[in-house]
Amino acid sequence: MKKAANIMAAVAAFVLIIDMLVMGLMIANDNYDGVTVCAYIAAAGVAALIAGAVMKISANKCPHCGKVLVTSGSFCPYCGEKVERK
Ligand SMILES: [Zn+2]
């Protein structure tokens, strides 16, 4: 799950960078239809980035009590057990 989230975030970031470059070219060429399409792709890229981040957070669960860990400490704030970080 965590790996899938990382891949998703990497792909989304890559798409966003390419999209920004293409959008710059479209603006330079006064192609505003193209800019609109790029804006939609950028919105999808941002949504994918957020989804990836949410997946990453929710994949980070305490192995002892199963609660989602949002903090980066090595102990679970809910049950106090030690959490192994990969
Ligand atoms: Zn716990």
Model pLDDT, residue 59: 81
> How far does the centroid of ligand 1 lie from the alpha carbon of residue 10, in Å?
29
Distance 80 CA to ligand 1 centre (A): 6
Task: Please give the model's pTM, rounded to 2 decimal places.
Answer: 0.66
**Do the domain assignments include residue 19?**
yes
Whether 23 maps to a domain, the answer reads yes
Query: In the prediction, which pLDDT does 86 show?
Result: 57
Please indicate, yes or no, if residue 72 is contained in any of the structural domains: no
| Ligand 1 centroid, distance to 56 Cα (angstroms) | 17
- Whether 13 is in a domain gets the answer yes
Which letter, b or e, does each residue of 34-47 get, where b requires 16 or more Cβ atoms within 10 Å of its Cβ? ebeebeebbeebee
As for how many domains the chain has, the answer is: 1
**What residues does 61 pair with on adjacent strands?**
68
The pLDDT assigned to 1 comes to 62
- Rounded Cα–Cα distance for residues 36 and 68 (Å): 38
Specify if 39 maps to a domain.
Answer: yes
Low-confidence ranges of the chain (pLDDT < 50): none
Range of the domain at 52: 2-58
Q: What is the rounded CA–CA span in Å between residue 32 and residue 68?
A: 44
Give distance in angstroms: CA of 73 to centre of ligand 1.
Answer: 12
